[in-house]
Structure 1
Amino acid sequence: MSLAISALDKVDAIYLTGPVKGLLCLLIAGAILLFPAASHAQTVTTYVNSAKGNINSSRPCTTPLVRNFVVAASFTVSDVDIGVYATHKARGEIRMTLQSPAGTRVQLVNGNVADISGDNFNVLLNDDGTQTVNTDGNTVNHSTTAPPPFQHNFIPNNPLSAFNNENSAGTWRLEICELSQGSNNGKFQYGQLYLTDTPANLSVTKISSIISDPVSGTTNPKRIPGAVVQYCILISNGNGGNADSIVATDSLSGPFTYNPGTMNSGANCQSATTPEDDDAADSGEIDPYHASISGSTITVTASTLAPTTAFALTFQVTIN
């Protein structure tokens, strides 16, 4: 099928609404226009573990105290933070490591037995923190006021960005161990894991082709009155996160008339062969994207669009 952009397309516009993220790309008469998607901040999901546990000589780094954060939701991670509150005599004896479901390990707090004697640990570990962890004064005691919020916002000894682009789902494992075999004991009190999703990267393309005209039929048809033109709206999600609750509308304002019963959907313009029934909902509504037309406005929806996937809607009009 020959695809072309004509001056007719200049009067058309496609808008997407809903909690989608990224940029939308609209192809009109050969020009690419970029504009922000519907406003939607990245989602930060928190997971809590408040099961207390001893941090002492019975928890060397070979058999650390383990606190798990079980994540059921599946999304691509763009940022990880973790807050830890522990009471302890001499926090320099504490070492902490976080392991992702994929097996990536990051030693967040190295510990420093020789120099740091201040009590307790009340810190949000964050790559964008104010200073590196355990550089806030060797003898300074941290607060025993239970978080959240955490008293300090510090940068871990090794970056949490090592987890970026991994899948969230599974068990995130926090290991806490005691570096000294002395009498300075402590207790894990509370932990909170913060996972930020990755925004979707949506693009929209609209293309058209002439199917037939009343003079030449289907042989090299022209855009003349009576010609049938097929449009395809392709909505794609690139490398990013899921796009959810997508609603796309296309305003058909021009010298043509929509041909009822010509809506079809599929994974792309060439494979769009599944009928869509022109109305938003009825007792027999089984069309995949609930495509509809009301007046001159076409609407199509999708509950979710995974990364690197797309869907297309085709329909036909007759030039007046």
Structure 2
Amino acid sequence: MSSPTPDADRLVDRGHLLTEQANPASRNLDQLSPLAFVDLVNAEDQKTLSAIAGAREDLAEAIALTAAALREGGRLFYIGAGTSGRLGVLDASECPPTFCTSPELVQGIIAGGAGALVRSSEGLEDIAEDGETVIHEHRLHEHDVVVGITAGGTTPYVHGALKAAQQRGATAIFMACVPQDQVSTDYDVDIRLLVGPEILAGSTRLKAGTATKMALNILSTGVMVQLGKVYGNRMVDVSVTNTKLRDRAIRILKDLTNLDRTAAGDLLDRSGQRVKLALLMHWGDLTPNQAEECLNRHHGQLRQAVNSLKDPKR
């Protein structure tokens, strides 16, 4: 791996960036009582909701493009450094248990690799070539999507990755917490989460990190809804891998079928621990194979499969 070197890009003054500016509301931060400190943080965190609202259309576009790409066999990659990279890895790691996706479908990449999750390696964010390399190593193609996350908008590692992704025909989505007039881009989707200066100047693990986590929650959940991983507001593709998740699966079946707990557990077992399949088996009086064939005909969309039971022509 390359080692960071002091080049022209690293020496640019970034004091003009929104994420680097001092917040007037916290100028006496070191003099606040614990309660006053908590109140200030709470007041500033309200701005994360406005930031998400301001990016609503771009987030919706990102959901639509990503869902369409994944339907064609693509993958979703989050890439970032420091806090931004950790948030991407976190969101990616939560998709398999929540939506029963393969670990390859949604992946998080952080500058410095797995070790950077627990040990600071922010110096590696300055190497654009490493971002390019990791894209080539993952053999991205035109159906893949890369979300580059950088609070301040200037991280060379992220821009190197996004440009390499575009060159390979993948969809490039940019997510930052600075306005476009401070950092301009030409990526496919440009998501700006404008939370303003942090109470601790430059510490983007605060509001910027919170808004980024919220945006990633919206993006990944929205994509999974579009892919049929949800019925109503239930996670019908939940991966039943422990006692808590089995309990959740049984409760979903109970609530949606009016079966008692024992019968719901038996139904879950007969379905091979697949809630979506269990529901279709129960509602259509189908065998597991019949239910699976029906789901496959409707590309895993439970609601469409259920509607087809009412109208055999569908």
TM normalised by structure 2 equals 0.24
| Structure in which a larger fraction of residues adopt strand | 1
Q: Which of the pair has the greater relative contact order for Cα pairs under 8 Å at 6+ separation? A: 1
Instruction: Judging by fraction of residues, say which structure has more helix.
Output: 2
